Amino acid sequence: MNREKNVRDFRTQFEITRDEQTPDERTIEGYFALYESETELWAGSYEIISKGAFENTIQKNDIRALWNHNTQYVLGRNKNGSLQLKADDKGLFATIKLPNTQYAEDLYSLVQRGDIDQASFGFNIIDEELEELADGGYRWRIKDIDLHEISVVTFPAYENTSVQAREKQVREIETRKLQQKKSELQKRLKGLTN
């Protein structure tokens, strides 16, 4: 289990609405994560979020919607109903009822113009599997997520610390493989000299 906070981003299609009855109520909604969509972390290394990975977390966690992962720009919260999260067959879908603040109005305008169309989420990994690929690469399958926040973001990019953590895992695997090969060679050499 990986206890480091992870962030994943991707391009999405946001829908925005402004209720005619209550024009101050602005809403942004869209998918913040997709199931079974392979993401390349770096050449030969991939990650997939399994269907159902969000099922355990969205009902029990106190999750915030943020702008660019910035805690000063809170857009909604699931505990008070201003953020509604739903895990369906496609992925994690969110509806954010924006607050009556200048930054929320600014964000709404930027999404409306198409300047911002990326989504992200911050989480810890509860359960995952690692598959070694035939070409020497790796694929992580995330099966259970502890979700902390979702964000509407300006730039989609995996956070360097998340990629570095995955790279460290690969280095550790490669080191163990090398140690195992060394040990096997030493046993063979010892057998030849006896």
- Cα–Cα distances (Å) from 27 to 84, 133, 135, 144, 147, in that order, read 11, 42, 45, 28, 21
Token couple for 41: 């972390």
Within a domain: 167: no
Mean pLDDT by 10 residues, the chain (194 residues): 59 64 78 89 87 94 95 96 95 94 94 89 92 90 95 71 57 75 78 72
Total of domains in the chain:
1
Domain annotation covers residue 193: no
What would the two tokens of residue 99 be?
């607050």
d(CA 18, CA 28): 9
| 111-125 tens-digit pLDDT | 999 898 888 898 999
Query: What pLDDT does 161 receive?
Result: 42
Q: Please provide the average confidence, as pLDDT, over all residues in the chain.
A: 83
Indicate whether 28 belongs to any domain: yes
Cα–Cα distances (Å) from 117 to 5, 53, 104, 183, in that order, read 23, 23, 15, 52
pLDDT at 91: 93
Kindly report the pTM of this predicted structure. 0.75
**Is residue 81 in a domain?**
yes
pLDDT at 9: 56
Amino acid at 83: L
User: In terms of residue numbers, what domain contains 81?
Assistant: 6-158
Residue 188, pLDDT score? 77
Give every CB contact of residue 53 below 8 A, 6+ residues apart in sequence: 35, 142, 143, 144, 145
- 180 located within any domain: no
Q: How far is the C-alpha of 75 from the C-alpha of 99, rounded, in Å? A: 6
Question: Quick one: pLDDT at residue 155?
Answer: 80
- Structural domain includes residue 191: no
**pLDDT (tens digit per residue) in 70-94:** 999 999 999 999 999 999 999 999 9
Residue 111: per-residue pLDDT: 92
Residue 169 domain-assigned (yes or no): no
Give how far Cα 173 sits from Cα of 65, 94, 95, 117, 176, Å. Answer: 36, 36, 40, 36, 5
Report if residue 135 sits inside a domain.
yes
